[in-house]
Structure 1
Amino acid sequence: MTGQGAYRIEALVLRKTKLKESDLIVTLLAEDGSLVRAVAHGARKPQSPFASRLEPCAVVDVLLARGRSLDVAKEARFVAPNAAVRADFDVSAAALPLVELAGKVAEVGLENPRLFQCAVAALALMDKAAAGTVGAENAVVVGCADRARILCAACLLKELAFAGFRPSLAHCAVCGEPLSFAAPSSAFSPYEGGCLCDACAAAGERSRRIDAAVCVLARDLLHRPFADVVALSAPSSHVKGVLRIVQDLAEEHVGSRLKSVSFLLGAWE
Structure 2
Amino acid sequence: GAEAAKSVKWDLHIIEGLVHPPPRSGSAMASWYTKVYMLGGLAEVRGKREYVNDMWVLDLHSLEWEQLPQRAAPGGEDGDEIHSIPCGRAGHNMVALQDGDGAAGRHEAFQLWCLFGWCMKEAKPAFLDDVSRYEPSTGTWTTQHPQGSQPPPRSYASCVNFRGCVYVFGGCNGSLASNFRSDLWILEVQDNYWERVVLPSGTVPPPGRSQHAMVQYGGTLYMFGGNNKVGGKRNLLSDFYSFDPVKLRWTQLTDGATGEGPGKRSGHAM
- Normalised to the residue count of structure 1, the TM-score between the two structures is 0.30
Provide the TM-score with structure 2 as the length reference: 0.30
| Bigger relative contact order (CA 8 A; separation at least 6) | 1
